[in-house]
Amino acid sequence: MLFRFSLYGFLKNQRYFEPFLVLVFLDRGCSYFLIGWLVAVRELAVNLLEVPSGAFADQCGRRRAMLLSFAAYIASFLTFALTRQIWPLFPAMLLYAVGEAFRTGTHKAIIFSWLRREGREAERTRVYGYTRSFSKLGSALSALLAALLVIWSGRFRDVFLFATVPYVMNMLNLLSYPKDLDLARSPEARSGVWRHLGATLQHSLKRPGLRRLMLESMGFEGTFHAIKDYLQPVLMVLAITRLTDLPGVLDDSDARQTAVLLGPVYIALFLLSSLASRQAHRVVGWAGGEAAAARLCLWSGAACFALMLPCAWFGWLLPVVLCFVLLHALQNVWRPILISRFDSHGDECQGATLLSVESQSRRVATLLLAPLVGWLVDLVREGGPGGSFWPVAAVGLLVTSALLIRSRSAAAPAAEVW
């Protein structure tokens, strides 16, 4: 099963569009503010569907939820690839949101159910970090193939078509999972999806430890997902101005030169992320526990944003790129630790729903921050002080600092939360 779990992550991360998503939107004539709204629409739709989809997975079958997710992804990719206007990007984002909602939390719950059956609950961080590392290896290969595709075609949008192939392969992989990992209820019990949902939400809100974990997810994870893709335009500016001194209007030559720089950076980023994810359990052991490791990640994140801020202000983009790479690696240490801490607060029958609550909590922050950061970047680019991308670092530093202040003033026992 570890092979199939790892293969799932490897194929799932064959998202050849991922290193170029913001550039696709810029190529279609979107402003950063509009890109922020596209992200917000996606996050809002996922928020509306996330917890009900987790309850559906727990009650009606986790494999069914995963297959529905991948069908929605494929429809989204085809829409992104074939449209040449701005307005169809919104329904494409909605389809992508359906895929995200029915996937997030569900596969993790399958892994944790298998660990319980094998009597290996204590290995949650190590096993999840191991499978996540294969996801990042898949991302590294995806970045290489994506760069080659863009260099070959001269167009960013073509990568969406190629992404449909591994997603079909992953549907076949999911069909090979043992049926007993579905944990689906009987047809009579399926009418209890909403009761199950309500019970899990009540459980989440009543426990102070879970509430604080959701706050952490909103702060660190939500901010990371709102700002991480700004690495793409930073690399595009480096590629175009340093290599060709071309204006900011993209043509086939610009796309190819951007891919030449962006591909190797993303390959290094994903390889480092894979290593970081696999070593997350060692960080826990070194720090003296998951709570202490989470606090260490927060301090490290604040340090990265503090370094990025002056570099972005003065337009020193190479150190900005390095900070983005370090933040990606840090998030891949943080994520297995956070997921393990969430799972330790719940029981098996609520697994997918509880992890969907976690994913939803971080998306609330992304929903709010993505348009704000996009608006600030547009404002600075139109004549504000400093370089174009310093608001990204400023927002990140503000949020991580607030989380650190909150952790110091928390009244709960350190062993439970921090």
Question: For the chain, how big is the Rg over CA atoms in Å?
Answer: 21
- The confidence score (pLDDT) of residue 197 equals 56
Task: Name the 3-class secondary structure at 316.
Answer: coil
Specify the higher pLDDT residue, 250 or 401: 401
Cα distance between the two ends of the chain:
32
Continuous H helices in 344-389: 351-381
Mean pLDDT of 395-410: 82
Give Cβ neighbours of residue 47 (< 8 Å, ≥ 6 apart): 360, 363, 364, 367
**What CATH number was assigned to the domain covering residues 2-409?**
1.20.1250.20
Reported as a single tens digit per residue, the pLDDT across 303-346 is: 999 999 999 999 888 999 999 999 988 988 888 888 777 777 65
Does an H or E element contain 202, and which?
Answer: helix 193-206
Residue 349: pLDDT over 60: no
- The confidence score (pLDDT) of residue 71 equals 92
Residue 381: pLDDT over 70: yes
- 21/39 Cα distance (integer angstroms): 11
> Quick one: three-class SS letters along 235-288?
HHHHHHHHHCCCCCCCCHHHHHHHHHHHHHHHHHHHHHHHHHHHCHHHHHHHHC
- The confidence score (pLDDT) of residue 348 equals 55
375 pLDDT band (50/70/90 cuts)?
Answer: very high
**Under 8 Å between Cβ of 314 and 165:** no
State the chain's mean pLDDT as an integer: 80
Lowest mean pLDDT among 179-183, 366-370, 411-415: 411-415
Lowest mean pLDDT among 76-80, 123-127, 165-169, 257-261: 123-127
Residue 272: pLDDT over 80: yes
Q: Where are the beta strands (DSSP E) in 127-185?
A: none
Residue 209: pLDDT over 80: no
- The confidence score (pLDDT) of residue 186 equals 46
- 414/418 Cα distance (integer angstroms): 5
Mean pLDDT of 195-218: 68
Question: Where exactly are the structural domains of the chain?
Answer: 2-409
Specify the higher pLDDT residue, 298 or 206: 298
Reported as a single tens digit per residue, the pLDDT across 213-251 is: 778 888 888 899 999 999 998 988 887 765 443 334 455
Mean pLDDT of 187-215: 62
